[in-house]
């Protein structure tokens, strides 16, 4: 079986998943014009992913320019346990939503995509993510602009985003 590879500068593999909690459809087409930083990870790397998301949101707070969805490969969950697994994930979503600052739309900042059949994870070559999450940056036109796995996720994400998404400059009050 051939393993897919992601090529920087090439079109990203098409996908469509519904976000847990908001049920918002996330796809290359639905996000056209907005960069996507897909984060493939599992429960073992939540702390590192949260730290990365916080660093990214300090520099890129506007969801209209950048979305940072977590993609969770759920294909190993047996069919008879899927409803239980989904309830657990909804609890995680609710906890993250409760921690959101007032005035922000949770649907734009807490995006958990459950990849039940593993096809999106496979298309993006998301392997060995237990302790080495995979970041894939896709620009607003659907082109892969960066791929990074493991190490310092915050530094890698910020480096990849430079030149792809303009940072939000602090407002100057007169």
User: Against a cut of 0.85, is the pTM above it?
Assistant: yes
Contact between 112 and 89 (Cβ < 8 Å)? yes
CATH architecture of 18-161: 3-Layer(aba) Sandwich (3.40)
Q: Enumerate the domain spans of the chain.
A: 18-161
Ranges assigned E (strand) in the chain = 16-18, 25-27, 35-40, 66-67, 70-73, 112-115, 134-138, 144-149
The low-confidence residues of the chain, meaning pLDDT below 50, are 1-3, 174
Place of tokens 């657990």: 88
Closest CA to 92 of 74, 119, 65: 74
Q: 7-56: per-residue pLDDT in tens?
A: 999 999 999 999 998 999 999 999 999 999 999 998 888 889 999 999 99
């Amino acid at each position: 079986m051939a393993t897919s590879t992601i090529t920087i500068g090439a079109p990203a593999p098409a996908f469509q998943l519904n976000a847990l909690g908001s049920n918002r459809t996330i796809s290359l087409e639905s996000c056209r014009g907005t960069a996507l930083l897909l984060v493939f990870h599992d429960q073992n790397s939540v702390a590192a992913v949260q730290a990365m998301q916080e660093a990214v949101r300090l520099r890129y707070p506007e969801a209209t320019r950048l979305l940072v969805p977590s993609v969770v490969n759920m294909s190993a969950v047996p069919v008879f346990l899927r409803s239980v697994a989904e309830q657990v994930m909804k609890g995680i979503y609710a906890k993250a939503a409760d921690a959101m600052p007032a005035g922000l739309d949770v649907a734009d900042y807490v995006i958990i995509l459950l990849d039940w059949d593993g096809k999106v994870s496979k298309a993006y070559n998301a392997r060995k993510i237990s302790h080495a999450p995979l970041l894939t940056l896709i620009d607003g036109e659907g082109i892969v602009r960066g791929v990074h796995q493991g190490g310092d996720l915050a530094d890698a994400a910020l480096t990849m985003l430079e030149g792809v998404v303009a940072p939000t400059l602090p407002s100057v009050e007169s």
